[in-house]
Amino acid sequence: MPHDSPIDIVYLWVDGNDSNWRAKRQAALQQLPSDSSAAMARYSNVEGRFRDNHELRYSLRALEKFFPDHGHVYIVTDAQAPDWLRPSDRLTLVDHRDLMPEASLPTFDSGHIESWIHHIPGLSERYFYFNDDVFFGAPVQLDDWFHPDGFHVTWSDDPMVTDEAMRMDATSLENACRLSIQWLTEKARSGTPALREQDPLYQSTFRTFAHSPRPMLKSILLELEETAPELFAAVRSTVFRSWDKPTIVSDFVLRWALAHGVASIRPYRHRYVSTGEGDQQAQLQALVAEFGSLEFFCINDTTDDAHTNDPRLQNVLSVLQSILPTPSGFENASSPVQTLSSAPLASSAFQAHSTPADAQHPPNASGLQQRA
């Protein structure tokens, strides 16, 4: 496909406040075998994983602001639709039932869902995959994300994964790193001499990938579905995220692409915000100060104990409104965002400003570990 073809956008989205969806989730929990809780990954069923705090709305605003030439937008969801969404010939809601076989449903594991998105009918060869808590933060230069042979990826700022064995108490991203390297190493050891020579490469990359926009090639996903069917089958067997069946699209695909010259490592100016941390306001202030020069940012909802009007959620919403105030073409004008005027960060003194693109700051100074 020509490299000047439009680049589509795929989001996963869920509204964890929806009563019908919550009933479906509760029924799925009750139907699990009694010993299944031991297989569930850390944070696999916490409220922050499913809560909607208008992140998708603001991610679409950032998309329109910083990448107006994007292709079609697909939002993959489970019989839901944002109440603010305006019909558009540039956007399609993709229901789980239209994307995945009945045997896969229901599922509440994003790793399971994302393993199917390359089968969206009409999806472009080159596309970006987003979770709804990821945002572009500066004008998109496609050469920064794609290259003639494939795409760029970036490591997270998390500590190195220190051992090879998958662990029940590890994050999904850590176990995904371990699983990918185990598979690739075994393939190298049992393969051709050329593959065996790559074995040290696999052994030297015990790091997780950043929670970022994911540039992808549909053809690579289709190839890997045939190359590693057991990995796809495993993650597609989950109802809730499982520690021993972690995501493969957000690690294995990227690691395989690195080993085969399809992907290359590139550092990005970015900011990771963990909303449940005690220094949340400082993190958000840093985001505001850097907005406009960050190639991407992530606002990870880790406020698992939060109620609807929790000030921490309102802080996030107020900051997003301050840096991305202009509604996108995908929004109904009659559905304004509701924020609490009492939110500490909503004051006029805390407004966004752009930092020059050549500002000197580290790619990410948060020092926080991703839990996505």
Domains and CATH numbers, the chain: 8-265 (3.90.550)
Confidence of residue 36 (pLDDT cuts 50, 70, 90): low
Residue 302 has pLDDT above 90, yes or no: no
Cα atoms found within 13 Å of the Cα of residue 4, Cβ hemisphere only: 0
Task: Determine the pLDDT at residue 193.
Answer: 56
Report which residue type is found at 183. Answer: W
The mean per-residue pLDDT over the stretch 337-359 comes to: 42
Banded pLDDT at 112 (limits 50, 70, 90): very high
Quote the CA–CA distance of 371 and 136 in Å, as a whole number.
Answer: 20
Query: Among 67, 58, 57, which Cα is nearest to 352's?
Result: 58
Type of residue numbered 61: R
pTM (predicted TM-score): 0.86
Helix (H) or strand (E) holding 175: helix 172-190
How high does pLDDT run on average in the chain?
85
Instruction: Tell me if residue 134 falls in helix, strand or coil.
Output: strand
Q: What angle do CA 32, 34, 40 make, to 5 degrees?
A: 65
